[in-house]
Structure 1
Amino acid sequence: MFAPKSLFSSLPCPESSLCSRNPCPFSHKAMDELPKSVSLVSSLLEFKPVAVPPVDSRPNQRTASSTTRTADTIPNSASIGTLSRKRGADDVPASSSRGTIEPPNKVQRVTTSYPTTSSGTPKITANPARSKIAINQRQAMLNLLYDTFRHLYMRILASSPSLPGKHAIAQEEEIYAKTSQKTYRNERTFSLAIISAVSSIQKRPPPDSKFHPSIGTIAECAERQEKGASATPIEILPSHLSTVLLSRRDMETMGYLLDVPLEGKLPEVGGTVMCERCKRLEGSQGCDRGPHVFNEKDTEALHSRHPFISLSSETITNDKEDILEVCSIDCEMIYTTAGMSCARVTMVDGKGELILDELVRMNEGVHVLFSGITSLDKAVYDLDHIRAALRSYIGPDTIIIGHALENDLKALRLVHHRIVDTSAIYAHSSGLPYRRSLRNLAKVYLDRTIQSGDGSTGHSSLEDARATLDL
């Protein structure tokens, strides 16, 4: 029991002389002996219930007595004004009145759009009675798809944690939609369809961004591939490239040769150079990856081995209709006894259509040390013939597009001044001499995987030339 506080000792007992409580918490004194404030209390005791409008009968509806409110508990406009003055006028809008006050908006946390199990895997939410196959069987196959997508997207899980679950659900629904009621009763048929999809997904290269071609279900990837194959190529014109042409200062900074050397000078006989692969001096301990190789970078030495020619000053004798306004060039290099040499040259026009793709026959006395090209036995033309073929399509005003094109032009012993270099357009954040690789740019901006082979298989110069043009 609580300790008595005598809180009702100033109030008259409602039962008066009929009261049987002992002791009674109320007062049994005469009314004139009570304090004057009792009259106010008495008036408060004589309250009448406020009429409540009738409400439609609903299940589990509360009774009228439980919803009845007294006149003293219902705020009026005056009391609301008093509250607003106590809290400050700015806390309650001027147009606020009873019935229009709304709770403040809450910021909701964004979560995954699909339900998950206790282990975090997506969960089948279909009605078991309407499902064409047992829910537990579908859930097992969904778990398998989820594990497959999660392993495939391992590199991008930190930035896109919900992606495996979304694509697993979408893939399961694709297979479910293609299966009829009669076939779907055979759980083995469903399982084989899921296993076939898993096998196809496992063959994809791991993506490193959300724009990679490996992202998505089987149907989504096939649709993207079909759209890419049927897309109408866009022709690149000189007017599109006016803002990205390299200036002479930019070309000099990036290592382009601006003028043909007056004379050449070969290195001294018996000298040693640094191996490009193991970074040890030639003649020292053997290279870790085969014979020592070197890349001659001195322009006078390159000019002595094979003279440079200028495309900006050479007279073109061919029909001017064959001269291209825009072209993209890529060369595939190999290590030889003469240094880094050009082994394959590919050129496409402004639409990406192939113009020239030829292997280069090495000069007499030059031997191949390391190459990603399987064989040069089918090479017919030497470097001079290749350059003559290029000059029949490239004039002084032709714009050549390439990636780190100064290396290709040095290998071809060509000098040209109208250049667009994608390594300059998509510059490295740390600036020169750092450059972003063509493979990285193709993945990020084109959703395309190129140069997917290892170091022993080389790459496709045609694939690179078109990727550079598309960039």
Structure 2
Amino acid sequence: MFSSLRLFQQLACPDVPRCSRPHCLFSHRTDLPPPPSLTIPVAQPASSSSRPSTSSTIPAKRSIPSTSAPGPSAPQEPPRKQQKIAPNRAASTAEQPAAGPPVLKVNGASSVVPVPVRQAMLKTLYDHFVVLYSNISNNPSLAAEDALRQEEEVYKKSNKQTYRVAIIHCVAAIKRRPPPDTSSHPSVGTEEEINARAAALKTRKSLRITRAHIEHLILTRQDMETWGFFVDIPDGIGGDRPSLENTIAKCDRCGKPCLVKRKDEAEECIYHWGKPVSRTAGGQKVRVHRCCSKPAPDDGGCVRGPHVFYESKAEDLHARHAFSYLKSPPSPNTVLDVAALDCEMVYTTGGMRVARVSVVDGEGIEVFDELVRMDDGVEVIDFNTRFSGITEEDYNAKAVLPLASIRESLDNLINSETVLIGHSLDSDLKTLRIIHHVNVDTSIMFRHSAGPPYRKALKDLAREHLGITIQSGGVTVGHSSVEDSVATLDLVKWHVVNRPPKPKPPTPMETEGQW
């Protein structure tokens, strides 16, 4: 034990005379001064008039005494440091960073090539895919995904000695590709994927579709009626009311009643040109307009144009321009046995009318492409260039033949026995005023998961099955009926190659004959 230094013997015991400690550290002498009092200032709560009272369960804050002279007049403690608060990431408007280089997740013991070498080569592939896809802004992870698949392709075809050289050749091939601007561009993908698409394209281009290829795809009369085809000529006198100018109709854009006027006299309509689509925002599905992303329904609109109208009833369409059948085949038959057809339409005082007709044969070669002049008394309200691709200048310069003359020209190419191929072909036949019963429709071949009357868009089918992008002209260029008809035929070719018809089961008579 250490000896006591008796340091507290100069301090009077604070418990005198009640101290009961047998060996007290303090002094019990009576001539010593009393110990100084310790005053601890307590922060008083503000009055109820200036701030709400503190709950009784929360203790009052206390200030730490100053090191200066004690007492109520001592200075208060300096303000404490403010806490650092993390930024609200949910409210941040900064763009998310692009995906970084991918990381291989393989078992090093089972890899023929050392994993560090593969990771370095993967980084090289990724860097070149990033440069190649620099114009694609809506898919930041595309370069990483393709680099992973490309490295795996090379690894499976190589050994430890040839792996590096194969990667170098692959990088050189990536450098030679034309820069893509969309995720569905032919330059997007691994080398095997691009070669497979090129081989499929070569097969499609060399294939000439005949009736024998697609006999099983021809729609029945019941299918045609289910999907909205007109199978009979409507009653009444055809073509007796070609125009509804100066009459009231329902606007096809805003849904309000409007007075039908020609282009220079029509009243202005504010509308959304894009249909409502479902998108995910904040973890919830919302309906927005595809054109401007405003919530649907929205009555404000985002673009301006004239009021227009659209008719779908058979008797109304027949009154604007008469329906008729295609002619019977001549002898000998010199017309096409298979033809792909597509039309572009414009808004007129006679409703939506055909303004361009394009036809390609079973090989995909263009055989007919003409602009259509409106019938007498029918005036164009809106050329709908965003979708039709037809401008007023082209129409005035090239549209010479009316629909009746166009139909006579088509009689030299197709007849009642020709298999017509189209996407939503019922719409094209209606605007051409044709009644036809030998049809193949790609919007019905590639069924929408929701069933009739829903259909997949031709643009989506072309991207999904053909790996090509169509209808990307934009506001000033619009669609091309030639491009659409070729894409429709290519979808049929793809179907013929990849989904051949199932063999029919043998009949009982055929089964008995085998025994």
Give the TM-score range, shorter chain. 0.5 to 0.7
Say which of 282, 287, 306 aligns to 1:291. 306
Query: What residue is the counterpart of 2:454 in the other structure?
Result: 434
| Secondary structure in structure 2 of the residue aligned to 1:162 | helix
Larger mean CA deviation between 278-287 and 406-415 belongs to: 278-287
For residue 72 of structure 1, what is the aligned residue in structure 2?
A: none
**Counterpart in the other structure of 1:213:** 186
CA separation of 1:139 and 1:178: change in aligned 2, threshold 3 A? closer
**CA distance, structure 1, for counterparts of residue 140 and residue 450 of structure 2:** 24
Over residues 56-103 of structure 1, what are the superposed CA-to-partner deviations in whole Å (9 max), with x where a residue is unaligned?
xxxxxxxxxxxxxxxxxxxxxxxxxxxxxxxxxxxxxxxxxxxxxxxx
Match of 2:234 in 1: 261
Conservation of the 8 A alpha-carbon contact between 1:427 and 1:436: yes
2:430 aligns with 410
Cα distance in structure 1, aligned partners of 2:195 and 2:445? 31
Amino acid at match of 2:356: R
| Cross-structure match for 2:213 | 240
Whether the 8 Å CA contact 2:122–2:151 is kept in 1: the answer is no
Displacement of 1:225 in angstroms is: 5.1
Residue 66 of structure 1 corresponds to which residue in structure 2?
Answer: none
Equivalent position SS for 1:246: coil
Q: 2:181 aligned to 186, 204, 221, which one?
A: 204
Distance 1:149 1:197, change over 3 A: closer
Q: What's the CA shift for 1:197?
A: 4.5
CA distance in 2, matches of 1:157, 1:126: 20
CA offset at residue 332 of structure 1? 1.2
Aligned to 1:464: 484
Match of 1:322 in 2: 334
Tell me by how many angstroms 1:395 deviates. Answer: 2.0
- Match in the other structure for 2:374: 362
Q: Secondary structure at the match of 1:345?
A: strand
Q: CA deviation at 1:366?
A: 2.6
CA shift digits 1:110-166 (9 cap, x unpaired): 965699xxxxxxx98389xxxxxxx9xx999766435456874965959x9632445
| 3-state SS of paired residue (2:304) | coil
| Structure 1 residue 453 displacement after superposition | 2.0
User: Counterpart amino acid of 2:209?
Assistant: I
User: Does the 8 A contact of 2:188 with 2:194 survive in 1?
Assistant: yes
Paired position in structure 2 for 1:348: 360
What is the deviation of 1:436?
A: 0.5
Q: How does 1:20-419 map to 2 (within 5 A)?
A: 112=105, 125=117, 144-148=127-131, 152=136, 155=139, 157=141, 162-167=145-150, 176-177=168-169, 197=175, 200-201=178-179, 203-207=180-184, 213-216=186-189, 221=194, 228=201, 232-264=205-237, 271-282=247-258, 286-287=269-270, 288-311=303-326, 314-315=327-328, 320-368=332-380, 369-370=382-383, 371=385, 372-374=389-391, 375-376=394-395, 377-419=397-439
Q: Distance in 2 between matches of 1:261 and 1:161?
A: 58
> Which ranges of structure 2 fall in alignment gaps of 5 or more residues?
1-102, 109-114, 155-163, 260-266, 271-302, 492-515
SS of the residue corresponding to residue 356 of structure 2 reads: strand
Moved more, 287-296 or 380-389: 287-296
In the alignment, residue 250 of structure 1 is paired with which amino acid?
Answer: D
SS at match of 1:243: helix
Identity among equivalent pairs (%): 37
In structure 2, the residue corresponding to 1:385 is in which secondary structure?
Answer: helix
TM-score (structure 1 length as normaliser): 0.58
Provide the rounded CA distance (Å) in 2 between the counterparts of 1:286 and 1:468. 34
2:249 & 2:194 partners in 1: Cα distance?
49
- Normalised TM-score (structure 2): 0.53
Query: Aligned partners of 1:293, 1:225: CA distance in 2, in Å?
Result: 44
How far apart are residue 358 of structure 1 and its match? Answer: 1.0
Structure 1 residue matching 2:117: 3-state secondary structure: coil
- Whole-angstrom distance in 2 between the partners of 1:139 and 1:470: 36
* Aligned residue in 1 for 2:32: none
Higher normalized strand content (fraction of residues): 2
Report if aligned partners of 2:146, 2:190 keep a CA contact under 8 Å in 1: no
Deviations 1:294-349 (A, max 9, x none): 222122121111111111xx356x66442211111111112222211111111111
What is the distance in 1 between the residues matched to 2:444 and 2:200?
Answer: 30
C-alpha deviation, 1:229, in angstroms: 5.9
Inter-partner Cα distance in structure 1 for 2:256 and 2:482 = 33
**8 A contact 1:309–1:415 mirrored in 2:** yes
